[in-house]
Chain A
Amino acid sequence: MTKGQVISGEFGKIIARQKSGQSIEIGELLISDSNDSKILLQVYDLVYGSQISQQNLELISGMKLEENTEFELFDPNLRNYMLAIMKSLVTIKDKNAFVSKSMPGFFSEIREIKESDLSFLTKPKNPLFVGNLRSGSKLLDVQIYLDGEKVFPHHILIAGTTGRGKSVLVSNLLWNAVGRGYCGILVLDPHDEYYGRNKTGLKDHPNKENIIYYTSKNAPIGTNTLKINLDVIRPHHFEGVVDFSDAQKQSLNLYYKEFGDKWIESIILEKNLKLGKLFKDDTLAVVKRRLLYLLDLEFSNNQLFCKGVFQLNSGFTTIRDICKQLEDGRIAVIDTSNFSGAVELLIGSLIANEVFNKYKSYKMQGSLNSKPVISIVLEEAPRVLGKEVLEAGPNIFSTVAREGRKFKVGLTAITQLPSLIPREILANMNTKIILGIEMKPERQAIIESASQDLSDDDRTIASLDIGEALITSNFARFVTPISIPYFEDVVKDTIKNKEEVKYEFSELK
């Protein structure tokens, strides 16, 4: 169906006149055909066009408004119209698509996109479903997949204002990654929303054996109670989590050097260092108090009691168990809703360090290729990747952001304030899924660090409705507009044909 005709413009700003009776929307995908190829165009602005001068238009309007004169234009469809301003996304030839280097012919017709135009969008080897292709506000029957094995280690940024669908998108991504084998995903879940303890969630997945869930309180049947032994904590795990002074950091390191695994207990029990008294009493007292508070420990009658997640006699293998599950391509959801931000990040730091160091050693051993990629899902990412935080020094998450892709470890960072993340880290996030963002500085931060040119898409991003998103990625052919399906619908689609296997308990007496 013809929607308009190219009339003028320049490369990156092609202007087409809209055919009367047709409507063109911002974000709409259109096709301009030529002899042996076609150009995929996207509308990024709309303006009025008229054959009547501005002065006469104002006069006509005044006659209607002020004098109520009925006024009928001769050939109104010829005289007044809409102009669509478009950019070319790709040139399509047969089943291949290339970056456009030419413009559609003068007066060439533009038409509505059809599913068959998009046959170059093939399903990648490790498909990660992100949503359905959207043309303006119209949904196309074309599913958009990214190659999960590529996008996860190159980091994903999910940016959008609250209520625009970030959680639904992440739920969908996780749901679709379950049981694929090519990736392990660690989810630090501060709102306890992804497992679905009391609602639809990952627990309802037919391959739920590939999901592990750790929670600190009332673990649902089959899930784990989160307990971490104090022995596994090292001083460097606090980097970027707790702001210790230099003297305090030195005391942590010296205690670790002397007492090994039992360094935290030794600080709390105020054991003496062989080297003698190297710190002021105040320094050690503050360290002790901060550790007691942070790790939820109690010290009374010269004895140490554990009240929370961090334990003296259990949880020896928790961190390694989680890593092993991730290495087996499973999804590990850690419910951190009961913890303070610092405790959540400490737990994340423990796991992320273990994963990152293991994968580094696999690379040295030459066995990294056989391992699944690992992604760490971080909500409110500026808490660990923010400029202010990183001024105090790097942490494991910023290290992963900078070096992780070499070791197949990536971040999936979620935020509504991308401008708080340093530009070089944002630029390292090679896939960005952008949902509606009202604030101009936030849009600007994304636009400036995007994998594809988004300089004309400011309005498009501002006008994204709930559940609408743009994907810009080194691994996508063009800035792809998508519509995110409802999570409940995704779940229903997956489980509608699954029958539960009935077990026989053959050894039962």
Chain B
Amino acid sequence: MKFAHLADCHIGSWRDPKLKDTSTKAFSKAVDKCIKEKVDFMLIAGDLFNTSFPRLDNLKTVVTKFKQLKDLNIPVYIVPGSHDYSPSGKTILDVLEEAGLFINVFKGSAENGKLKLNFTLDKKTGTKITGILGKRGALEKKYYEKLILDNLENEKGYKIFLFHSGIDELKPKEMENIISQPLSLLPKGFDYYAGGHVHIVEDKQIEDYGRIVYPGPLFPNSFAELEKLERGGFYIVEDDKIRWEPIQIYNTLKIPVDCNHKTPEKIKDEILDQIKDKELNNTVVLIRLQGVLESGKPSDIDFREIFTRIYEKSAYFVMKSSHAVKTKEFEEIKTDARNVEDIESFLIKEHLGQIKLENLTLEKEEELVRNLMKTLSTERQEGETVPDFEKRAREEASRILELDL
């Protein structure tokens, strides 16, 4: 038996025109590799798309690749992730599943307020697969708390559990801020736990459970992830052997700059010196600056010239992170969050409790704010008229706020 385990494809994640197709390219490359490897089936542990209604061009590529897999009789089993659902619970995944392109294994029934999951059988290999979706703010935790375990733990045969959640005990140091749940919520006795959501590459054998695996994203999803992971990838599991297959779309070059006791001019020279002898073809260049400037402000660093010189060396894309650079006058940083989601989460939490409404608990308020933000950041879809878009946005907001707008 041979299968592939992907997660966090986040198709459509990068907004910059130069990177916006990268996740789609990474997905296509991963599928091609799976076909070449002749896997029996493929698992996707959530967050196939970055939004519940992805752009049509991305969708078209993804559908084409799924069709290819279907034609080659390579079934795909998925659970939706926290990015796959709209606040109203809608997802394009439903449409794709209806079209027979993959199977969502979050199947079962509600029994007296408890969740009873059913297994999906992979006919070719006899593997039994089930799993639980991921929701925004780790709200899937309630599902685990209500999960009936007997049928899952007593089932015989090779079993796979797909999940899209962080695990407290396994979280790496730099991800302490992500919401996660205890290991004890997972049903015991599965042969393979196919994880997603946490963008780390990890394969651990855990006593009483089994192999718990996170393949990481197919392509890093942010500046910090590009720095840490450099590239994405997925796992191929063949019998008891497991290997991580990297997906190389671009090379990466990291330029860390310690700004302490340096002038903006010196920093520029230092960066240019670091790229002097480098080949930058097809390379994403990441410049991270931190420290306290000897004089001047971060905006005094001549990034225009730095970027021009890097692009002259045929770099594909240049990014900089200078939020950790301080001037001597202003040394205070209000948040150490590293990405947009962290900052959003920080700000929401900071302002919770200011709306005083009956029955509005802090948890409900946070969920409401997140849902509203998500709805209001929805983009107009291709072919959608402005009035239709406005109507859709109003309806979504109306439903979330439980008001007639």
Residues of A with C-beta under 8 A to B142: 503
Dominant SS among interface residues on chain B? mixed
Residues of B with C-beta under 8 A to A219: 182-184
Q: How far is the CB of A13 from chain B (nearest CB, A)?
A: 53
Nearest neighbor of B142 in chain A, beta-carbon distance? A503
The answer, yes or no, to whether A340 is at the interface (CB within 8 Å) is: no
Interface size range on A against B: 20 to 34
Q: Check B175 against A317 for contact (C-beta < 8 Å).
A: yes
The answer, yes or no, to whether B115 is at the interface (CB within 8 Å) is: yes
The answer, yes or no, to whether B143 is at the interface (CB within 8 Å) is: yes
**Residue from A219, A314, A321, A502 whose CB has the most chain B CB atoms within 10 Å:** A314
Q: Check B169 against A224 for contact (C-beta < 8 Å).
A: yes
The answer, yes or no, to whether A506 is at the interface (CB within 8 Å) is: yes
Partner of B110, one of A221, A229, A504, A509: A504
Alpha-carbon distance A494/B147, docked complex (angstroms)? 26
A-contacting 9-mer, from B12-20, B101-109, B224-232, B234-242: B101-109
Partner of A508, one of B115, B145, B169, B173: B115
Q: How far is the CB of B203 from chain A (nearest CB, A)?
A: 11
The answer, yes or no, to whether B176 is at the interface (CB within 8 Å) is: yes
Nearest neighbor of A231 in chain B, beta-carbon distance? B173
Alpha-carbon distance A313/B200, docked complex (angstroms)? 13
The total of interchain contacts (Cβ-Cβ below 8 angstroms) comes to 81
Residues of B with C-beta under 8 A to A317: 168, 171-173, 175-176
Q: Check A505 against B184 for contact (C-beta < 8 Å).
A: no
Partner of B169, one of A221, A314, A504: A314
Q: How far is the CB of B399 from chain A (nearest CB, A)?
A: 13
The answer, yes or no, to whether A452 is at the interface (CB within 8 Å) is: no
The answer, yes or no, to whether A318 is at the interface (CB within 8 Å) is: yes
Instruction: Convert A99-122 into 0s and 1s, putting 1 for each residue whose CB lies closer than 8 angstroms to a CB of B.
Output: 000000000000000000000000
Q: How far is the CB of A298 from chain B (nearest CB, A)?
A: 16
The answer, yes or no, to whether A348 is at the interface (CB within 8 Å) is: no
Q: Check A503 against B89 for contact (C-beta < 8 Å).
A: no
Q: Check A316 against B110 for contact (C-beta < 8 Å).
A: no
Instruction: Convert A195-226 into 0s and 1s, putting 1 for each residue whose CB lies closer than 8 angstroms to a CB of B.
Output: 00000000000000000000000011111110
Q: Check B107 against A509 for contact (C-beta < 8 Å).
A: yes
Nearest neighbor of A320 in chain B, beta-carbon distance? B176
A500-B113 in contact given A317-B176, A507-B89, A509-B104 (Cβ < 8 Å) = yes
Q: Check A507 against B80 for contact (C-beta < 8 Å).
A: yes
Instruction: Convert A465-478 into 0s and 1s, putting 1 for each residue whose CB lies closer than 8 angstroms to a CB of B.
Output: 00000000000000
Q: Check A313 against B168 for contact (C-beta < 8 Å).
A: no
In A316-335, which residues have CB < 8 Å from any B CB?
316-318, 320-321, 324
Q: Check A222 against B110 for contact (C-beta < 8 Å).
A: no
Nearest neighbor of B146 in chain A, beta-carbon distance? A503
The answer, yes or no, to whether A436 is at the interface (CB within 8 Å) is: no
Q: Check A506 against B89 for contact (C-beta < 8 Å).
A: yes
Q: Check A225 against B184 for contact (C-beta < 8 Å).
A: yes
A221-B184 in contact given A318-B168, A509-B106 (Cβ < 8 Å) = yes
Residues of B with C-beta under 8 A to A509: 104, 106-108
In B75-100, which residues have CB < 8 Å from any A CB?
80, 85, 89
The answer, yes or no, to whether B392 is at the interface (CB within 8 Å) is: no
**Residue from B85, B172, B176 whose CB has the most chain A CB atoms within 10 Å:** B176
Q: Check A315 against B169 for contact (C-beta < 8 Å).
A: yes
The answer, yes or no, to whether B170 is at the interface (CB within 8 Å) is: yes
Instruction: Convert A211-252 into 0s and 1s, putting 1 for each residue whose CB lies closer than 8 angstroms to a CB of B.
Output: 000000001111111010101000000000000000000000
Q: Check B204 against A508 for contact (C-beta < 8 Å).
A: no
Q: Check A222 against B175 for contact (C-beta < 8 Å).
A: no
Partner of B133, one of A221, A500, A503, A507: A507
Q: Check A507 against B171 for contact (C-beta < 8 Å).
A: no
Alpha-carbon distance A320/B172, docked complex (angstroms)? 12
A316-B108 in contact given A219-B182, A502-B113 (Cβ < 8 Å) = no
Q: How far is the CB of B132 from chain A (nearest CB, A)?
A: 9
Q: Which 10 A-B pairs have the closest CB atoms?
A: A502-B113, A219-B184, A317-B176, A316-B173, A224-B182, A509-B107, A317-B171, A320-B176, A227-B169, A221-B184
